Amino acid sequence: MIILKRLWLIPLCLTLSCATAAAWWQSFERDPVAQIQSFTQEVNSILTDAAAAWAIIQPFLTPAQQQTASADYGKAVSVVSSTMGILTDAVQAAADAKTTPQPDFTGLVNNVTAALQQLLDIVSTLQATSQPAPTALPGATHALGALAYPNPALDEAKARLAALKGHAVGSVR
């Protein structure tokens, strides 16, 4: 019942998200250095959430999964860091050169969000394939043959990425 009563919030949130994205993009065009700092903070929050989600999942992986999963997770974090570094360097170089008009950073911003999406996809896949002991988590339920368990950090990371993607879409320009 509560869910049905709150469905009206979805169109409102989507409308506000689009308006917020357009406003953010305009601010980005005016002062990309300040906005990239805000973007970086959000990326770091997503990385922190992903690390917390990984910490919840890792103990439930089989020994055979652990090594490969750790390598995949580490590579994904590295890709996020390098794409973020490229974006930050490009924005700073344009600001230092006082390039007018500002270059289009849409591709670089979207590379960062794509790298974050890949990281969260890896964590989500590991969440789905890990198998906690049935008594390890009260309230865990079987879903599609796998034992499902809550991972609020992963949920938060996904929500933050969705919001960040709303800012990163170049078509709002």
pLDDT digits (tens, 9 = 90+) for 60-69: 888 888 899 9
Q: What span, in angstroms and rounded, lies between the C-alpha atoms of 76 and 163?
A: 20
Q: For 126-148, what is the mean pLDDT?
A: 57
Say which DSSP state 130 is in: -
pTM above 0.85, yes or no: no
- The three-class DSSP label of residue 147 is strand
Residue 103's pLDDT is 76
Quote the tokens at residue 34. Answer: 């300040």
| Measured torsion, CA atoms of residues 48, 139, 143, 156, in degrees rounded to the nearest 10 | -20
- Delimit the domains of the chain by residue range: 2-172
Quote the tokens at residue 48. Answer: 């922190």
Element (H, E) at 131: none
